[in-house]
Structure 1
Amino acid sequence: MRKILGMMVVLVVVTACGQRPHKPVESGASAVVVPDIVTYPRFGDADPHEWESRAPQSYPVHGIDISRWQGDIDWRTAKDSGVSFAFIKATEGGDVADPKFDEHRRGAQRAGVPWGAYHYYYFCRPAEEQARWFIQHVPKGAPLPHVLDLEWTPRSKTCTRRPDPREIWREARVFMNMLEAHYGRRPIIYTTVDFWKDSDIGQLARTEFWLRSVAGNPRKVYPGAYWTFWQYTGTGLIPGISGEVDINVFRGSPEAWAHWMAGSG
């Protein structure tokens, strides 16, 4: 993760629902505030897993990733239940835009839920084209960095290409560099176990990772990987959201979360 040198920061982290406030971390005069964060939420799950090693519930900061399939969301209820961040689908390929993206991001903003957008990548279009498509649909000003979703697409009706790791790395760099130049912060890469193994994407420099693992802690499923976010279920149940939803954790403490949100984690 990146550090901002010479920046003086005071962290103020407030917890909701009667949870104990965390002590501020003081190193100077400016302030980063994460308001009303509910730590260690206990969400439901339509298909719960019996965790053998460190369970996701042992991490304090939880959030969701969503798309059109979640429909309408009561964002204030979701936030009050423990949703501290949201990654929202914006685009895929070079010609598909999620029709609920603007509604979801505005709802998150009104409720004070930090959000970022994600792009579902297809290996049948140039990275430049896909980055331009994303930039066309996602405004500046998101509190979180955006996400490049890299996974195989065997069920796609239009693109099932599986390029070699060199091409994947090259295209990922192009996409990420374009978004970093436009938005001012480098995107995260989201990926799955099989894609991680086949592409060796974990060796890509200057990259933070969001890893999917619904049957084991990432330290077991992705040996040696350093991750920022962990998607631990695709069948979560959260107040304010109808039906099942993906749930994720941030790797660190609430204080680390505030640092990371500010780009200094």
Structure 2
Amino acid sequence: MAKEPPIQVVNKPRSRKKTSGKGRRLTKKKQGFKPPFQMPVWLHYLLTGVVSVCIILGFYWFFIRPYAYRWKPCYGLKAYGVCIPYGYGVHGFDVSHHQGHIDWAALSEVQHTPFPIRFVFMKASEGGDFSDTAFVHNFNEARKNGFIRGAYHFYNPKTDALRQADFFIRSVKLEPGDLPPVLDIETRSDNMDKLRRDLKIWLRRIENYYKVKPILYTSYKFKTRYLNDSVFNSYPYWIAHYYVDSVEYQGEWKFWQHTDVGRLPGIDEQVDLNVFNGSMEELKSMTIPDTLKTDTL
């Protein structure tokens, strides 16, 4: 029997599936697709550096620069932990309950230093019903220890002006030799015209009672923006302006609160330091006269 030849397996070509015209178009699109733009490495690092520099400059401008004066080298005379403003011989400070307990016996030694502290302002009241818890004690101790003393009221724009004035009058019994009462205004109001009218009411009420012109305390910016007119300019001005070498305010002023980071013996917390724009005799001439006679409420 003759053998049959082995079966040969022939690979048949695969049949090609018909593609529609739409499929052909998709294929063509895929073949022609371009990848998205890829940023060069050098450009990536450049932009990262620019953004970082902007963040650092922004942080310095808004958070470091306003307080850079604290770290500036002192080329003048230094005392009480700060650089003393040049050209002023009468120094003072101001306190509230935030300074905690004060050792007045230790504090009195600052009257016998090369930069003697002569006067002190104390917070007496705020709004229409808040009395500073340390005021009565500090006010009495200041006089016992030979300081020229003064009292201030922290104004609340949301409380009636007359109510605040009368509350201060009930809280503070000024005596001859004391500094005039102080109106401390730092808070803006939604209605600044009304605030200005109310401040004038407070000032007139206090002046009529104590028979002396009150002192107006506020910051340099607040004064120039909101209280820079002939009426407010007629009051002795106590300016709060920190981290500068000299006062930039062009008008008249009597007191300058030049720092809030002073250090005094007998006080554990940092304290505001001030200078008087004049001599010791001129400071005494501002105080309540011996002829003061106040009316009853």
User: What TM-score do the two structures reach when normalised by structure 2?
Assistant: 0.64
Pick one of 96, 99, 108 that aligns with 1:79: 108
Pick one of 181, 199, 206 that aligns with 1:179: 206
Are residue 197 (structure 1) and residue 224 (structure 2) matched? Answer: yes
SS at match of 1:84: strand
* Matched AA of 1:121: Y
Are residue 150 (structure 1) and residue 159 (structure 2) matched? Answer: no
Q: Distance in 2 between matches of 1:76 and 1:144?
A: 22
Q: Distance in 2 between matches of 1:219 and 1:43?
A: 19
Does structure 2 retain, via aligned residues, the 8 Å contact 1:43–1:238?
Answer: no
How far has the Cα of 1:144 moved from its partner? Answer: 0.7
* Matched AA of 1:248: N
Are residue 133 (structure 1) and residue 162 (structure 2) matched? Answer: no
- Taking a change above 3 Å as real, the CA distance of residues 262 and 90 of structure 1, as seen in their structure-2 partners, is closer
The correspondence of residues 37-48 of structure 1 with structure 2, limited to 5 A, is 43-45=79-81, 48=82
Match of 2:127 in 1: 93
How far has the Cα of 1:173 moved from its partner? Answer: 1.5
Q: Distance in 1 between matches of 2:267 and 2:80?
A: 12
How far has the Cα of 1:131 moved from its partner? Answer: 0.4
CA-based RMSD:
2.1
Gaps of 5+ in 2: 1-76, 111-115, 290-297
Superposed CA offset, 1:183-235 (max 9, x none): 22121000013311321345325311000111225542x2x221100000001
Gaps of 5+ in 1: 1-40, 50-54, 154-160
Does structure 1 retain, via aligned residues, the 8 Å contact 2:180–2:288?
Answer: no
Match of 1:256 in 2: 282
Match of 1:213 in 2: 241
How far has the Cα of 1:58 moved from its partner? Answer: 2.7
Percent identical = 33
- Which deviates more, 107-116 or 202-211? 202-211
Q: Distance in 1 between matches of 2:234 and 2:88?
A: 25
Q: Whose strand proportion is higher, 1 or 2?
A: 1
How far has the Cα of 1:257 moved from its partner? Answer: 2.3
* Matched AA of 1:213: H
Higher relative contact order (CA 8 A, sep 6+): 1
Does structure 2 retain, via aligned residues, the 8 Å contact 1:213–1:232?
Answer: yes
Does structure 2 retain, via aligned residues, the 8 Å contact 1:202–1:225?
Answer: no
User: What TM-score do the two structures reach when normalised by structure 1?
Assistant: 0.71
Q: Distance in 2 between matches of 1:101 and 1:262?
A: 19
Does structure 2 retain, via aligned residues, the 8 Å contact 1:168–1:199?
Answer: no
Superposed CA offset, 1:49-94 (max 9, x none): 6xxxxx6243101111100011222224323212211110011111
How far has the Cα of 1:258 moved from its partner? Answer: 3.0
**Higher Cα Rg, which structure:** 2
- Taking a change above 3 Å as real, the CA distance of residues 219 and 140 of structure 1, as seen in their structure-2 partners, is closer
Large movers: runs of 4+ above 4 Å: none
Match of 2:98 in 1: 69
